[in-house]
Amino acid sequence: MKFSEKWLREWVNPPVDTQGLGEQLTFMGLEVDEIVSAAPDFKGVVVARIVNIQQHPDADRLRVCEVDCGAEELIQVICGAPNARAGLTTALAQVGGRMPDGTKLKKAKLRGQVSMGMLCSAAELGLSEERDGIMELPDDAVTGTDLVAYLELDDSIIDIDLTPDRGDCLSIRGIARDLCARNDLALQVREINETPVEVDDQHSVVVDGQSACVRFTGRMLTQLTPGCATPGWMIERLRRAGVRAISPAVDITNYVMQELGQPMHAFDADKLQGGIQVRLARAGERLVLLDGRDVALDEDTTIIADDRGPIGIAGIMGGESTSVDEKTTRIFFESALFLPEIIAGKPRRYASHTESAHRFERGVDPAGQREALEYATGLMRAIAGGQAGPITDWQDDARMPARLDVLVRRARLQRVLGINPEVATVSMIFTRLGIRNETTADGWQVSAPSYRYDLAIEEDYIEEVARILGYDSLPRTSPTYRPVLRAVPESAVSPMATKRLLVNRGYQEVVTYSFVEAARQELLRPDLKALPLANPISSELGVMRTTLVGGLVSTMQRNLSRQISSMSLFETGLRFLSNNEGASTAGLDAYLSADHGADLQSDTGVQQQNMIAGLVVGRLSAENWNATVREADFYSIKADLEAMFSQANGVSIAYVPTDLAMLHPGQRAGMEVNGVLVGYVGALNPALQQSLDLSVMPVVFELSLHALSLASVPKAKPMSKFPQVRRDLALLVDESVTCQSIIEVIREQAPAILQDVRVFDVYQGEKVAEGKKSMALGLILQGFSRTLEDAEVEQVVAKIVAALEIAHGAILRV
């Protein structure tokens, strides 16, 4: 908000200079963005009066003026302004003066006639955007007076940045209140006299109880002098507030709003049909606004209407059909109170973030409507004369904003601020701020004034004490903190180590939203119910993710659209389930609870699981002339998983069948640790690939990060000095039997001397019966105390073959 320093000092005049005033405002939370001089950078401009004027003999658009500039003799100035006339008091830039753009005025000849300066428009002097003619000053202005002094331009324009909760400071009076409290000064209240009723002329007003309006005041002014001009002092104050002057009626409503904080509107009474209605818009109603836009009105929008229909959007902008103009002689002034919670959002909806809407969204003083109306009436009559009608004053007491009593505890104030001010000091601050207060045994019972919407809880009032004392006066005491280092198990594998491993293997980390599109989530994990968001940032991001794979697939699609066909991506983060969802992870949660701690859960029934997911698609390496480039497949991503688990000492991963619909039926597996399902790996299901319109089939994995943290402390043991023995087995088994189940049976039979089991061939086809498959395994055996004898090895092998025959019906092929 911009305002004139002089205007502010009419309400309160602290004993500080401009810089000190800015510092006080900033330390009270009204941050000063900028302080600039009100006077544009011109020099040598004085008040002058045109005494005589004649047509230029050699130019149709120029005239020769004899000008009184306060000197002993008249000077000649050539001027082309259409409003130049004898007797006009205006601004003269003299020879030797300087314009705001740096131009220096010199004696000049225009079409053979000497010009001793330039008669200036307000735009040329940087005082406004008005370019229709030269400035018109009041007739009583003394010629020769420096224009800076005459217009009181020896002023500063202060621009402050207000937080959304301080709507009460969107006015000169509101800012002055805070300065009075800071400096212990009395507010210089402007005397606003009640205007006597001179004519019995008024419009009936009907307010719908469902609308945003809880108070409406209005009055008629008749017999106004048409074509009057807004006084220069008012135009100049509005300019310094960043408001462009339009016409007396509009300028007065803007002036009152800037000074008192109450938005108003002026209707041309002769253009109104019947009484005033404040109601909700009806289906199909439209309105042409003051800025010329034709908008469709929603049915939850409060409007001002007459018998014909809408004439304004309440608290935002008036309609073009009832706007005032230079011919207006009868005005209806409206000064109302609209509830901020109902107005909020409407300015953005209608793309009309006006000064009025800015204030109504933040809250306007419920006690200020009649006062503003009387002030505007007095200003209007002083400029354009006229007679005032009676005031219509309607109020809905049941819906008026209320201010609740709050207890501010002395102990709480001391704890929050770190100081212990005197009781009398705090009471005095509350009183200066207009806060009703009463001292109690525990502190103060307080109640906010009507204009302070931001004071609702105890901390709000404590903040007020800090603001008025000055944030700079609070002691700079560093908090005492005794850190307790959390013991990290020696066996723990940090997520950062896992990330580094993946990066070293060519992956790139991505971070995606935790909230996702419901339809896409349903495609990926139809078996898990996604948790809906109460207030999503968009309709496409309406639920919490149950899998991280969706974000990786979306990232892949964006990269594919940029012609990036090969990529390896991973992400770590939370997935969100209800506590009764995800049966596949229930065993893991119980297991972790007994060891390293379960994932985060809350009383709301939401389970948050820390996961890591990866996606690989395309070539695994760059094209090379001397090597075959391999495409990503199930086994390449499985190798990455094996590398991840190799960091976790003692964690044994097993791959088991899974029916997860998201994955390809022939290229998918679940992952188990200690018999608990911790994740899955596989290629994306072709049906899902088609539904998501994917041009490629990525391979993905997802598992619990906790599973990688279940390592044990490595224990050193000597290497065997004795030779290894290898025995190969060719087994005929049903095609449904997995390698993992075969290996598990083998390890159970020779746990001590069995060092490794290697699957080196799986075959189905000629010479193998239908429904069967041939599986070739290499057994690596080694003793630690002696060299294994052939008989001992053959005995172990025979035991293994017998166990495989019992468990899986395996037949040894010869």
> Is residue 179 within a helix (H) or strand (E), and if so which, with residue range?
helix 172-183
Residue 99 tokens read as 């314009």
Asked whether 465 and 471 are in contact (CB, 8 A), the reply is: no
Residue 452 burial (C-beta neighbours within 10 Å; 0-12, 13-18, 19+):
buried
Q: Both ends of the chain: CA-CA distance in Å?
A: 94
Cα angle value 777/783/786 (rounded, 5°): 145
User: Which residue has 């199930």 as its token pair?
Assistant: 634
User: Which residue has 């009781």 as its token pair?
Assistant: 423
**For strand 725-734 and strand 699-704, is the pairing parallel, antiparallel, or unpaired?**
unpaired
CA distance 68 to 407: 68
CA distance 676 to 587: 6
- Bridge partners, residue 94, by sequence: 117
3-state secondary structure of 688: helix
- Determine if residue 464 is labeled as part of a ligand binding site: yes
HSE value, Cβ hemisphere, 13 Å, CA-based, for 326: 5
User: Which residue has 């007679």 as its token pair?
Assistant: 387
- Bridge partners, residue 64, by sequence: 54, 78
DSSP secondary structure code for residue 722 in this structure: S
> Is residue 641 within a helix (H) or strand (E), and if so which, with residue range?
helix 634-646
CA distance 303 to 283: 13
- Determine if residue 463 is labeled as part of a ligand binding site: yes
The candidate with the shortest Cα–Cα distance to 637, out of 568, 565, 707, is 568
- Determine if residue 454 is labeled as part of a ligand binding site: yes
Find all residues with CB under 8 Å of 726, minimum gap 6, and list them: 778, 779, 780, 781
DSSP secondary structure code for residue 201 in this structure: -
CA distance 615 to 635: 13
C-alpha gyration radius of the chain: 42
CA distance 267 to 282: 22
Cα–Cα distances (Å) from 151 to 25, 138, 229, 658, in that order, read 26, 11, 17, 85
Strand spans (E) along 618-765: 653-656, 663-673, 676-684, 699-704, 725-734, 754-763
Find all residues with CB under 8 Å of 562, minimum gap 6, and list them: none
Cα angle value 221/222/227 (rounded, 5°): 100
**For strand 508-509 and strand 567-578, is the pairing parallel, antiparallel, or unpaired?**
parallel
Residue 627 tokens read as 């090597």
DSSP secondary structure code for residue 599 in this structure: P
CA distance 487 to 111: 93
Which amino acid does the sequence have at 285? Answer: E
DSSP secondary structure code for residue 146 in this structure: B
| Residues that constitute the known binding site for Mg(2+) | 454, 460, 463-464
Residue ranges at the known binding site = 454, 460, 463-464
